[in-house]
Amino acid sequence: MKLTLKIWRQKNANAQGTFESHQVEADEHMSFLEMLDVLNEDLVSQKKEPVSFEHDCREGICGTCNLVIDGRPHGPNQGTTTCQLHMRHFKNGDTITIEPWRANAFPIIKDLVVDRTAFDRIIQSGGYVAVNTGQAQDGNAIPIEKDQSGEAFDAATCIGCGACVAACPNASAMLFVSAKVSHLDLLPQGKVESAKRVQQMVNQMDAEGFGNCTNTGACEADCPKEIQLTNIARLNRLYTSSMFSTSKKY
C-alpha cells in the first residue's frame, strides 16, 4: 500500500518544529514501527536525515513507542501500543499524521522522541517498598483475597508510556501515579508506607508540572493497558486520608 506520512520534525527542544510529508510503501502485515523503519531506510538512501522515534521491546511491554497517530496516542486501536499496531488497519492512499506526546512535562528531544524522565522521578519519590518484607517464600505465605490481588495486578500492568498524559486535555499524570500507588497499596507489603508514598508521589507529580485531573476519562480510553479510573478515585482517598494521619515520621 502507498501512504502519505505527515511527520513532526524538530531538531531539538529549542528549535521550531514543523510537519514534513513523505511517501512510503508498506505491506499490510508490517507493524507501524516497521513501516517507519522502511521510511528511514528510504531517507538514508536519499542521504536525508532519518526520523527519530523511540522503541525498544516492540512487544507492548516497555512503553517507549510513544506516538500520537491521527490525533490519538498509540493510534486508532483501543488497548494497543504503537508497536502492536499493524498497517492492515490503514488503507491504500491514506494520509497518516504522526506527532510526539504534547505536554510541557514531556519536552521534545528530537522529532518524535520526548523526555519522559519526569515519570522516573515520580517513581523515585515513592513508587517502591523500602521496608523489609522478607523473601519470596514469605510473600507467598501471605493470603490475599483474590479480587484484591487481581486489582493490584491490573494496576501493575501500567507500562508508564505516558499516553494518559498525551490524551488528557490538562496533561495530567493522575492515571499513571494512581496505578503505581494502587498496585502497592492493595498488597500487605505496601501498606506500611502508604501515607508517605502517596504524599511524596503526588507532590513530585505537581512539581514536574503535570496538570490537574478533571475526570474527562480520555486517559482511560487511550491507555494501551486499559488502566481504570477507579485507581484515581483510590489515589484521591489515600491522599486525603494521609493528610489526617497522626504519624509524621516522614
pTM score, whole prediction: 0.93
CB-based contacts of 127: which residues, under 8 Å, 6+ apart?
180, 181, 184, 197, 201
CA 75 – CA 51 distance, rounded (Å): 18
3-class DSSP state of 32: helix
Do 198 and 90 belong together in one domain?
no
Do 133 and 236 belong together in one domain?
yes
For residue 248, tell me if it sits in a domain: no
Do 164 and 215 belong together in one domain?
yes
Q: 110, 141, 157 — which closes off a domain?
A: 110
For residue 250, tell me if it sits in a domain: no
Which residue, chain included where needed, has cell 486517559? Answer: 219
Which residue range is the domain that position 96 belongs to? 2-110
Do 168 and 228 belong together in one domain?
yes
Q: 71, 92, 110 — which closes off a domain?
A: 110
Do 239 and 122 belong together in one domain?
yes
Per-residue pLDDT of the chain (250 residues; tens, 9 = 90+): 999 999 999 999 899 999 999 999 999 999 999 999 999 999 999 999 999 999 999 999 999 999 999 999 999 999 999 999 999 999 999 999 999 999 999 999 999 999 999 999 999 999 999 988 888 788 788 888 999 999 999 999 999 999 999 999 999 999 999 999 999 999 999 999 999 999 999 999 999 999 999 999 999 999 999 999 999 999 999 999 999 874 555 4
CB-based contacts of 145: which residues, under 8 Å, 6+ apart?
none
Q: 49, 77, 110 — which closes off a domain?
A: 110
CB-based contacts of 140: which residues, under 8 Å, 6+ apart?
none
For residue 157, tell me if it sits in a domain: yes
For residue 16, tell me if it sits in a domain: yes
CA 44 – CA 22 distance, rounded (Å): 13
